[in-house]
Amino acid sequence: MTERQGLIRKAEKFLESARVLMDSGDLDSAVSRIYYAAFFVAEALLDALGLSFSSHKSVISSFGQEFSKKDRLDSRFHRFLIVAFEKRQQADYGIETGLDREEVSELLEEARAFMKAGKGWLTKKGFLKS
């Protein structure tokens, strides 16, 4: 298994974990898993271009440069990564986060859309087997 495949598998596992956590009412942990799932998808996509970064902000920024600005994927996914990162910070470090189920559910749906688009791009370009 390549690192790219491993990142996608981990992202899929984290999306399922996020759903379970959300359903159990642990919204903060669900948001954290949603963000990390999206982060792993972004890392897999950047890996396909031969790019690797050591910080979350570098991954998010480079994803924007390589995939949004170059129209490889819809720019909404870059905006989603930024929001998910901010929400994860809030969920992991805040005491009273104010997150509600509807907001977390929307983040989960956008993360699923990002996963689908990312896997589709990787498969279409021959970087991932279907």
- Output the six-digit token pair for 53: 């970064």
CATH number at residue 72: 1.20.120.330
Number of structural domains, the chain?
1
| % helix, strand, coil for the chain, step of 5 | 75, 0, 25
Which two structure tokens, joined as six digits, stand for 24? 């159990």
Query: Counting every residue, how long is the chain?
Result: 130
Q: Would you tell me how many other CB atoms lie within 10 Å of the CB of residue 21?
A: 20
The pLDDT score that the predictor gives to residue 30 is 98
Contact 101, 27 (CB under 8 A): yes
Structure confidence at residue 55 (pLDDT): 97
Q: Name the maximum alpha-carbon separation found in the chain.
A: 44
Q: Can you give the pLDDT at residue 83? A: 98
Mean pLDDT value across residues 103-122: 98
Question: In 10 A of CB 88, how many CB atoms?
Answer: 21
Per-residue model confidence as pLDDT tens digits over 47-100: 999 999 999 999 999 999 999 999 999 999 999 999 999 999 999 999 989 999
pLDDT of residue 129: 86
Asked if residue 101 belongs to a domain, the reply is yes
pTM, entire model: 0.97
Tell me which residue of 44, 33, 35 sits closest to 9, measured CA to CA: 44
Note whether residue 35 is domain-resident.
yes
Three-state secondary-structure class, residue 25: coil
Residue 54 tokens read as 């050591």
Containing structural domain, residue 11: 3-124
Mean pLDDT of 30-56: 97
